[in-house]
A and B are shown apart, each in its own frame.
Chain A
Amino acid sequence: MHEINLLPDDYLAKVRSKTRKVFVISMAMVLVAFLILLAATAIGRYHKLKTEIVYYDTIYSEHFLPLLKKEEELLKKEKDISDKYNVYLELKQQKTSMSEILLQLAKLTPESVRLVYIDIRDDKSIVVIGQAPSDTVIAQFMVNLGKAGNFTDVNLDHITTESEQGKGNLFTFQLTFFLK
């Protein structure tokens, strides 16, 4: 069976045109609604981001910056303390124990030797002038110094035999050596 449309053609065309208009208007409204929604979302996102950035800016200026400043100050203070402590350790290490050197010199001096002059200089050189009854004792003194371990380059500068009044035949000698 065939279905026959008996409505006139112009009427059918009018109905079709009306449907199309409704469709076009609906599509336009959907498009406009979509655009408005998109715009609203974008604006919303923009405002949210702005608010959060303001929040982070507040944290940055109120907490982060003072902490950074404090950290910088503390680091500076730490460096200052550490520098001072290093200087102290360095100077302490350079310290010469003069009492120990003199005490050791006294212990190494043979019993029959009398020292009349000790000169310990900043360059670690030591000059000793003394009196001894014989060359052997002077040699013994030199051996004692050489064996001690703290002294090096023990040199005999001279021995003089000029006897002083009331002191018998004493040899006056001068030794030069260095502190290790």
Chain B
Amino acid sequence: MIQLNNREKRFIIIGIIIIVVSLAYARFFYPMYITINALVDEFREKQTVLRDLEDIQTKVKRLEGKIDNSLKSLEEVEQSIPYGKNIHKLLLDLETLLNKHDLKQHAFAPQDAEAMETYYILPINIRVSGKFEDIIGFLRDWENYQRLVNITEAKLYPDDENDSNIVGEFVANIYIFKTEEGFVENFEGFTFEGDTGRLDPFAPI
């Protein structure tokens, strides 16, 4: 057996200690230190989530309030510029206006819709006849119609059939919002009571 002197023994013990500490450092403490540092960074980053959460909660509440207020304006806008042509409603309302102003309708012809970026323009040609002041009254009512109507062209000339009347030819633009589904027509709420259809639709009226 090798006999070690005190100096050699001390050297071996110190060596073992250094090796153990180095191994512990290299295999455990340093990786742990790196992992913990990474976790601390992640933790700090995620701590901001809580702060952001409060910000977003406030923002969402504010947005909800703002949208609630805007919904009323949107209703007005959607009534003025619907998502469908809704010509049936226009016809009904136009007839009411014509009767109110004692005018005779000669033509009503919707043209092809012109596509813009977010909406369509649908020009409608209308020809009516009656007194000048009645035509003005009709135009005024129509300009204030619930739907946005822009009368872009007008032609007025005396009526050949009745000298005291004049004929008015108008081009009125109505507008329709674009949707992914195309034109969304609203046929709800229109009831025509008493009409059960005809046995022979070709029979004279």
Contact = CB atoms under 8 A, between A and B. Distances in A.
A56 B63 contact: no
Given A53-B42, A98-B143, A118-B154, A91 B63 contact: no
Nearest to B142: A99
B155 interface: yes
Interface in B123-169: 132, 135-137, 139-140, 143, 148, 150-158
B140 A83 contact: no
Give the dominant DSSP class at A's interface. helix
Contacts of A139: none
B147 to A, nearest CB: 11
Given A46-B35, A78-B70, A85-B74, A122 B63 contact: no
B28 to A, nearest CB: 7
A38 B49 contact: no
Contacts of A118: 154-157
Interface residues of A, number: 55
Contacts of A120: 153-155
A97 B152 CA distance: 9
A121 B39 CA distance: 73
A53 B63 contact: no
A122 to B, nearest CB: 5
B60 interface: yes
A37 interface: no
Interface residues of B, number: 60
B150 A94 contact: yes
A35 B32 CA distance: 13
B73 A42 contact: no
Nearest to B157: A117
Given A92-B148, A116-B158, A118-B156, A83 B118 contact: yes
Interface in A18-41: 24, 28, 31, 35, 38-39
Interface string A55-92: 01101100110011011001101100111110110011
Given A116-B157, A118-B156, A122-B153, A56 B35 contact: no
B150 A95 contact: yes
A31 B143 contact: no
10 contacts: A28-B17, A46-B32, A67-B56, A70-B60, A74-B64, A96-B151, A99-B143, A102-B154, A118-B156, A122-B152
Interface of B: 13, 17, 21, 24, 28-29, 32-33, 35-36, 39-40, 42-43, 46-47, 49-50, 52-53, 56-57, 59-60, 63-64, 66-67, 70-71, 73-74, 76-78, 80-81, 118-119, 132, 135-137, 139-140, 143, 148, 150-158, 170-171, 175, 177
Interface of A: 24, 28, 31, 35, 38-39, 42-43, 45-46, 49-50, 52-53, 56-57, 59-60, 63-64, 67-68, 70-71, 74-75, 77-78, 81-85, 87-88, 91-92, 94-99, 101-103, 106, 115-122
